[in-house]
Structure 1
Amino acid sequence: MTRANSTRFERLEQTIIVSSLLLMVVVTVQPILNLLAISFSDSAQVPGMSGLAVVPRGFSLDVWTLLIANPEVQRGLLNSLFITITGTILNVTFTALMAWALSRPRLPGRRILFVFVLATIVFEPGLIPDYFVVRELGLLNTYWAVILYKLVNAWYLIILIRFFEEVPGELLEAAELDGANAFQTLWKVVLPLTMPALATITLFYLVYHWNEFLRPMIYLNDSSMHPLQVVLRKFVLDGDKSSMVGLAAMSNYQGAAQISTRALNAGMIMLTILPILAVYPLILKFFTKGTMSGALKG
């Protein structure tokens, strides 16, 4: 094959790849833009909007005003933030500590401990045994029943172990010669070098806690403790608009009863999506850093 034909083929290949990626972006983003447009549209014009519309009709903030002012939505948002932030901090901390220990070749019983980790993947307990354990521990109707579940995810633990094992032994030996103990070596040497892996599992844990709704529905009997996802299910899946519209008398918002259910559902869905979308750019920068980038710091 000549160089000209090779160049033509490469351009065609690049065009196909770029076009495919653009199509995937459009397919992914379009539904989100549609929900956003509906939530900012005048309720009287929402029924005429198709599923492809991405521009609001008759711009209005009525839906967002009602959502933000609703006490149940406010409580759900605060509950979700507490569960997600607390859970993610504990998850990342204990996963990193356990991964650091299991990545050390001189750890006694390392292989046996790793077998137990793999066993949790294959033999995960069912919902009923899990419920009995939570009940016996006295964690029913507490946030900890949701936060402490899978405090260390075995898959994410394996990812961190592999990254920790790739840190050159020379750097660890240099830290030991400088008088650093195990925790100092982990904090000042290993973690900065494995930031891409930490960012990855942090994002995974964040998304998991933020999207969790099954366990809160089972273990949190007090509705005031429900996270935003449970509130979303109540409004969207159960079609419960009464509590939302009932806010009209409390807030003197006379237009609440006229708000379209479709617009209200769209706004509620976007309210649960936007916080995670806002976190992605903050973590994304760590994905492009190499494992050894921290070693170049002075």
Structure 2
Amino acid sequence: MSADVMQRAERPAWMEKPRPVTQGVKGLTLVFTVLVVIVPFWVVLATSFAPDKQVIANGGYALWPDRWTTNAYDLIFSGGQITRAMLVSGGVTVVGTTFSLVCTIMLAYALARPGVVGGKPVMLLVLFTFLFPAGMIPSFLVVNGMGMRNTYWALFLPVLINAFNLVVMRGFFQGIPAELFESAKIDGAGELRTLVTIVLPLSKAVIAVVGLFYAVGYWNDFFRAILYTDQATMWPLQTWMRTYVVQSQNSLISVQGGVSEQIQFAPQTVNMAVVVLATVPILCVYPFIQRYFTKGVLTGAVKS
């Protein structure tokens, strides 16, 4: 069989043979899209490692540093507040994601099992909160009334379970064959053992996807720290990044005894360095979970 015949056999009947012009346009479009994504991040990275004089001379940015330097990163970590903010962000992300995954898995499993008492009203309540979320003032009143203000609990407990993630995971659990649950019941396994030994090993894809959703949400959140805490020492990294970049403050802040005082000048390189520090951890985690996205999200979204 010739190569042309084999190629036609591999293509569906409705798919025409690709033309060179079409292939070239697709390639150029792909290259353009990649450049649109990579160039801004490269500018941020190069600016963070560029000397101050070059950045100032180029209007605040650098495409390629004349001399690679880590002065901006040394300046950031010498102040102490960014190091603490990174620890706060990491701790909130790890603890919050763990708590959220455990609670979401348990609630989704309970709502996915047939015959659960009160399952339908609870599901309707979850969907109601998904369509009509609580506002900022009610959330603040609840957190303040429970005594969680100025505590790290306020950074993840108010958003412990996301309704969308719950619906996705519940749909995935509903797609597991009922025969597996029946065989586990015949063997004498309870609900908890069935969840741990049968459901969770089959749900690695959706757990990875939902876990990444939670982790990205906790890592990128900056508003809850402003809303629920009065102490800058409790701010996560994203809140400090907002202070540096969005408000264009050109000074490093040293927090001592709850009083903020300006101690060193921070050029544009420091702003870019903070952006890099806030972005790189998620970029390092994402490639390992990307392969689960299609399977986890689409399979979990088939049923609701």
**Higher share in strand:** 2
Give the deviation of 1:50 after TM superposition. Answer: 7.3
Amino acid at match of 2:281: P
Give the deviation of 1:159 after TM superposition. Answer: 0.2
Aligned CA distance change for structure 1 residues 238 and 7 (closer, same or farther; 3 Å): closer
Q: Distance in 2 between matches of 1:42 and 1:30?
A: 19
Q: Distance in 1 between matches of 2:108 and 2:22?
A: 41
Q: Which residue of 2 aligns with 1:8?
A: 18
Q: Distance in 2 between matches of 1:194 and 1:66?
A: 44
**1:252-293 deviation digits (Å, cap 9, x = unpaired):** xxxx75x6x1111111111111111111123224346689xx
Q: Aligned pair 1:267/2:276, yes or no?
A: no
Amino acid at match of 1:206: A
Unmatched runs of 5 consecutive residues or more in structure 2: 1-7, 9-14, 256-263, 298-304
Within the candidate set 69, 75, 80, 1:60 is matched to 69
How much identity, in percent, do the aligned residues show? Answer: 34
Q: Which residue of 2 aligns with 1:276?
A: 282
Q: Which residue of 1 aligns with 2:231?
A: 222
Within the candidate set 178, 201, 204, 1:192 is matched to 201
Give the deviation of 1:244 after TM superposition. Answer: 5.5
Any conservation in 2 of the 1:72–1:224 contact (CA below 8 Å)? yes
Q: Helix, strand or coil for the counterpart of 2:17?
A: helix
Report the number of matched residues: 277
Q: Which residue of 2 aligns with 1:45?
A: 54
Any conservation in 2 of the 1:213–1:229 contact (CA below 8 Å)? yes
Give the deviation of 1:13 after TM superposition. Answer: 5.0
Q: Which residue of 1 aligns with 2:12?
A: none
Any conservation in 1 of the 2:244–2:271 contact (CA below 8 Å)? yes
Q: Helix, strand or coil for the counterpart of 1:8?
A: coil
Aligned CA distance change for structure 1 residues 172 and 56 (closer, same or farther; 3 Å): farther
**Relative to structure 2, which stretch is displaced further, 23-32 or 266-275?**
23-32
Amino acid at match of 1:6: E
Q: Distance in 1 between matches of 2:137 and 2:211?
A: 29
Give the deviation of 1:199 after TM superposition. Answer: 1.0
Q: Distance in 2 between matches of 1:192 and 1:209?
A: 25
Give the deviation of 1:187 after TM superposition. Answer: 1.6
Q: Which residue of 2 aligns with 1:179?
A: 188
**1:78-101 deviation digits (Å, cap 9, x = unpaired):** 111111111111111100100000
Q: Aligned pair 1:134/2:140, yes or no?
A: no
Give the 5 Å matches for 1:95-106.
Answer: 95-106=104-115
Q: Which residue of 2 aligns with 1:296?
A: none
**1:83-136 deviation digits (Å, cap 9, x = unpaired):** 111111111110010000000012123222211111111221211111111111
Aligned CA distance change for structure 1 residues 54 and 191 (closer, same or farther; 3 Å): farther
Aligned CA distance change for structure 1 residues 170 and 225 (closer, same or farther; 3 Å): same
Q: Helix, strand or coil for the counterpart of 2:16?
A: helix
TM-score normalised by the chain length of structure 2: 0.83
